[in-house]
Amino acid sequence: MADRHAIAHVAIPSLQFLSLNGHESLSNLYEFEVELVSMDNFIDVRKMLGTQLTVELESFMSTPRYLTGRVRKFELVGSDQDGSEYLIYKAHVVPPLWYLTQGKDYKIFQEKKIEDIIKEILDKFEIKYEFKLSGSYRNWEYVVQYNESPFNFISRLMEHEGMYYWFKHDKNESTMVISDDASSHEEYPSYETLNYLSSGFKVFDSREVITSWRHNAVVTPSKYTVVDFDFRKPSTALDTEKENQLDGDDSIEVYEWQGGYQELSDGDNYTKLRLEELKVPQEIVEADSNIRGICPGYKFTLANHPRPSENQDYVVVQAHYMVQVNGYSTNSGREDFFSTSFYSLPASIQFRAARRTPEPKTHGPQTATVVGPSGEVIYTDKYGRVKVQFHWDRDGKKDENSSCWVRVSSPWASTGFGGLQIPRIGDEVVIDFIGGNPDRPLIIGRVYNEDNQPLVNLPNDSHTSGFRTRTIQGGSDNQNFLLFRDKQGDELVDVQAEKDMKIFVKNDFYLTVGNCG
């Protein structure tokens, strides 16, 4: 690396590294602000967008360290203050995964495990990744990406399931590593043990050490309770709770309704994950160093701390880098500089990402079209549920695979009695969502439209109300109906049975006709 401890590999070779200020952490997108200098006055800032930029850092303990990504923003900052002819540019460098934050979509996923959904989305956008999963995951019957970016969608799914990620950097690209267990964390080569700067220790540029160490302890909730409901098992309690009593803790409880599960075993697992999530802030360590090998997702052993209990294994959860090289002119006044401030977690504590990604909510009812297999008129199950095609669903084929089974609200629903009318294929229905959750649709009504006109001619027959059915596979004349005409002086109750009529009276039957003439 010649005589500089940091250089940049850039699409435009005349640009040279000046400084880096950036951060990366577990389950977050990193961003590095990289200052570059050049004497070229004709650099088109637009040509740098989307290009690869890699910063190579000299290491005294191993091979060079790399920080790499794509340029999402490139700007001309101005001239160097040393009076030289150098112009300063600033590149904002992010992982390729950042591009998944820029769009929004609506998409339905059915009968898939979370890792398969993540794989499908990352493959679509050609993101390089690897799984380091030790857990087994349930099949999701139905989950919707609803007016949200692909990044937000997979982020909230990973947070829900207890997955988290970090990035591995090399000279050419970064790789997203998706994990769910502390056993997946490895030591960064040649940085397995990191030394604390003890009293009287003299710092040399060639020695990488931790210069400050602040071990925090905070109070967090110690009890987590999750509740949900499955209409297929209405008498089964799906309540589950877990508790982790700590010294000095006040037994604060977090109570969550709609935990996102239908099996009690899944609820038990989610409660465990939620409690692990709450434990993460309990013993976070803040530290400062000049160590090049501090990387989120990697672990290390602390040595030489005067308090023996501190000398244990830790996992880096967040790092902030500041790098600068001396200037390119004799009057620059800049000096070589490298610092890393970071947060770490005792390796005995399992990291879980906080569930900070907002879950999408629906805002009021919407309509959809009832669908089913080709050639069918009614397609339902034992609960009277139907399938629908949402108007926003551009992937659905308007068939029996377009959605999950959707429950239908009835005017009266009790045990073996009530009111029933199954929406037919082609009907437009009104859908709302339980708790505003797009994964839990419910049909609350039906509406007419241009293709499906009312049962009487409106507005001329607006005085008529009632019920009219249609024979399956029959024509417009094949119908049963019960109509009430409320036109003054011309009132009428009109009844038709398309074939047979059966009336069963268990006791008396009275019929009075006022005008037999």
CA distance 496 to 480: 5
Whether 17 and 33 have beta carbons less than 8 Å apart is answered as no
What letter represents residue 43's amino acid? Answer: I
Cα 12–14–15 angle (5° rounding)? 75
Residues 8/15, Cβ–Cβ less than 8 Å: yes
- Residue by residue, DSSP assigns 72-90 as EEEEEEEE-TTSSS-EEEE
**Residue 98 three-state SS:** helix
Alpha-carbon distance 227 to 224, whole Å?
A: 10
d(CA 295, CA 170): 13
Strands 253-257 and 223-227: parallel
Mutual angle of helices 150-161 and 114-124, in 10-degree steps: 150
Q: Is 287 helix (H, G, I), strand (E, B) or coil?
A: strand
- Tens digits of residue pLDDT in 3-20: 678 999 999 999 999 999
Q: Position 498: which residue type?
A: E
Check residue 83 and give its pLDDT. Answer: 59
At 268, the pLDDT band (50, 70, 90 cuts) reads: very high
* Percent of the chain surpassing pLDDT 90: 84
CA–CA distance, 220 with 282 (Å, rounded to integer): 7
Q: What is the pLDDT of residues 448-477, one digit of tens each?
A: 999 999 999 999 999 999 999 999 999 989
Tokens at 339, concatenated: 């610092």
Bond preceding residue 281 cis, omega within 30 of 0: no
289-179-150 Cα angle (round to 5): 100
432-438-441-445 Cα dihedral, nearest 10 degrees: 20
Place of tokens 């004497």: 39
User: Burial of 235 by CB count in 10 Å (0-12 exposed, 13-18 middle, 19+ buried)?
Assistant: exposed
pLDDT digits (tens, 9 = 90+) for 398-409: 999 999 999 999
CA distance to 262, 369, 382, 438, 454, per residue, from 442 (Å): 17, 13, 16, 10, 23
Is the CB of residue 269 less than 8 Å from the CB of residue 290?
Answer: no
**Rounded to whole angstroms, how far apart are CA atoms 217 and 281?**
8
pLDDT at 517: 64
Rounded Cα distance, 405 and 424, in Å: 14
| φ and ψ of 4, to 5 deg | -115, 145
Confidence category of residue 248, pLDDT binned at 50, 70, 90: very low
- Please state, in angstroms and rounded to a whole number, the distance separating the CA atoms of residues 482 and 276: 61
DSSP state, residue 406: B
The full set of domain ranges for the chain reads: 223-281
Query: How far from 240 is each of 222, 267, 270, CA to CA, in Å?
Result: 14, 6, 9
> How large is the greatest C-alpha to C-alpha distance in the chain, in angstroms?
121
Of 327 and 275, the structure prediction assigns the larger pLDDT to 275
What is the rounded average pLDDT of the residues 24-42? 95
**Res. 128: pLDDT tops 90:** yes
How far apart CA 379 and CA 258 sit, in angstroms, is 29
Q: Kindly report, residue by residue over 269-325, the tens digit of the pLDDT.
A: 999 999 999 999 988 999 999 999 999 999 999 999 999 999 999 999 999 999 999
pLDDT one-digit tens code per residue, 45-92: 999 999 999 999 988 777 899 999 999 999 999 887 665 788 999 999
CB 422 within 8 A of CB 378: yes
Kindly report the CA angle at 290 between 288 and 293, in degrees rounded to 5?
A: 100
Distance CA 284, CA 164 (A): 17
Q: Tens digit of pLDDT for each residue in 207-229?
A: 889 999 999 988 888 899 999 99
> Quick one: pLDDT band at residue 329, thresholds 50, 70, 90?
low
SS3 31: strand
C-alpha dihedral over 293, 297, 301, 306, to 10 degrees? 90
pLDDT-based confidence at residue 117 (cuts at 50, 70, 90): very high
Q: Which amino acid is at 501?
A: M
Length of the chain: 517
Among 128-137, 188-197, 250-259, where is mean pLDDT lowest? Answer: 250-259
The answer to whether the beta carbons of residues 176 and 128 sit under 8 Å apart is: yes
pLDDT of res. 484:
97
Q: How far apart are CA 25 and CA 292, in angstroms?
A: 15
What is the three-class DSSP state of 297?
coil
Closest-CA residue to 241 (of 219, 220, 267): 267
Contacts with 282 (C-beta within 8 Å, 6 or more apart), sequence order = 217, 218, 220, 246, 349
Q: What is the mean pLDDT of the chain?
A: 92
Q: Is the pLDDT of residue 366 over 90?
A: yes
What pLDDT does 222 receive?
Answer: 87
Average pLDDT value for residue range 482-486 = 96
What are the phi and psi torsion angles at 344 (to 5°)?
Answer: -135, 165
**Collapsing DSSP states into helix, strand and coil, what is residue 364?**
coil
1 pLDDT higher than 50: no
